[in-house]
Amino acid sequence: MSCGRRRLSRTVAAALLFLAGVAVPAGPAEAAKRGPDLAVDASGTTIPLGVERKVAYLKISNLGDETPGDVVVRVHQPPHGPEPLPVALLWHSGVGECDGDFGGFYCRLLPELIPGPGETIDVPVDATVYGAAEPYEGRFEVSVTIGPEKDANPADNTRWFPLVLVDQPSADLSVVARDVKKSVRIGADGTPEPTGTLNPGETGAVWHTVANQGRKAVSGVRVTLRLPKGVTFTRQPTQCVLADAGRSAVCTYESLTLVPAAEDTDPNDTIYSAVELYNLVTTAASATAPATLRGGTVQVEGLAERSPNDRAKAARTDLPGNAVAVRVADADHSDNQDGFAVLLAAKGDGGDGGDGGGDGDGDGGLPVTGPQAGLIGGIGVAALAAGGLLFLAARRRRMTLVVPVDESSAG
């Protein structure tokens, strides 16, 4: 009897082991998550002497695959000997909850300024000059922390950048470009209006702001745009020449005059120190989504310099046919170019104002890389196999219980 029970135990154990091995097949593998991965950069940190205030930009990029829940940016500017700092950095209004003083401050970014996977946001910082009469070379440190998640690569969360005053009484053009994340339509006022997330085959808009933060006005501006692979200009942009199969454009705005920011004091006049431009672009219908198409750039340069003393004269609108536009001296070339990405959403993702037509689950999980049918089928086969083994085990148990009775009767 004991021998029969041992055989029974081995049989049931084998059945359970078989169930454990077969009923839990290798399920579909989910793509590995890295988490958020923020990196920092800066532009516009060279200032012409004579300019009292300039807006520089901290560029916070998310190289990971998740959006952090909370982002804090810290700026530290070490002292410059016993004398006060000739140029000091402080936060710009409208970026979030900020505190600190000259020499060091922090900002907890607004939720809408936290970059998602593949995105870059530009955080403005005010650089204020305090009566400096000679050039200056300093530096400052920028660090970014996130929570409650951990950064996938903390090594690129902190960097040092130069902060320089130069004796160059010229114009100082800068450009800031936004990532393209929304599909658009042209509104009643002739400008693009967002309609939802950007899907393959749809049209978005590359918005870029050009500003003059120098000491002299610029008459005429040239903007060069290059689009990521898989994106083309929707149509021939006004005052632009296309190349590279519709992926690059050189736009010449000869009649556009930008005065120094210090002279742009009346928001109701027609004197401008900054303009915001846009160009419509279309994504390839065959593109895979979701995806981040990187490599877009916008570069700006001035065509001619116009002295503030010439304010009474009409701005030049045309160049002579035998003239060649020349580059204008620019005090800070670090902010003359900016990059942007085009972010494609998968069909059905929906979005603000979109009509993606999805089921609205919106769980944000990574895509599953294997079919669910394999898992379901494997469980079914395992259940049938295990049931058969247990049935046989049950029959074997009844037989072993009868044997001792027979032996006793024979005796």
Lowest-pLDDT range of 93-97, 195-199, 300-304, 367-371: 367-371
Give the residues across from 330 on adjacent strands. Answer: 171
Model-level pTM greater than 0.85? no
Tokens of 31: 């793509």
Phi, psi of 399 (to 5 degrees): -65, -45
Q: Class of 168-367 per CATH?
A: mainly beta
Determine the topology of domain 32-167 in CATH.
Immunoglobulin-like (2.60.40)
| From 105-109, 131-135, 309-313, 401-405, the region with the lowest mean pLDDT | 401-405
d(Cα 256, Cα 273) in Å, to the nearest integer? 10
292-313 per-residue burial string, b: 16 or more CB within 10 A, e: under 16:
bbbebbbbbbbbbbbeeeeeee
Tens-place pLDDT, residues 338-368: 888 888 888 776 555 444 333 334 333 333 3
Strands 217-226 and 248-258: antiparallel
Cβ–Cβ < 8 Å for 87, 136:
yes
Helix, strand, coil shares, percent, the chain, to 5: 20, 40, 40
Q: Show me where the domains of the chain are located.
A: 2-29+371-410, 32-167, 168-367
Average pLDDT for the chain: 78
Tell whether the model's pLDDT for residue 172 goes beyond 90: yes
Query: Residues 81-113: pLDDT tens digits?
Result: 788 889 999 999 999 999 998 889 999 999 999
**Site of tokens 């409650």:** 148
Enumerate the H helices of 84-130 as residue ranges.
none
| Bond before 148 cis per omega within 30 degrees | yes
pLDDT in tens, 262-285: 888 888 888 889 999 999 999 999
pLDDT exceeds 90 at position 48: yes
pLDDT grade for 407, boundaries at 50, 70 and 90: very low
> What residues does 70 pair with on adjacent strands?
147
Instruction: Say if 32-167 and 168-367 have the same CATH topology.
Output: yes
Measured CA to CA, the distance from residue 334 to residue 108 in angstroms comes to 26
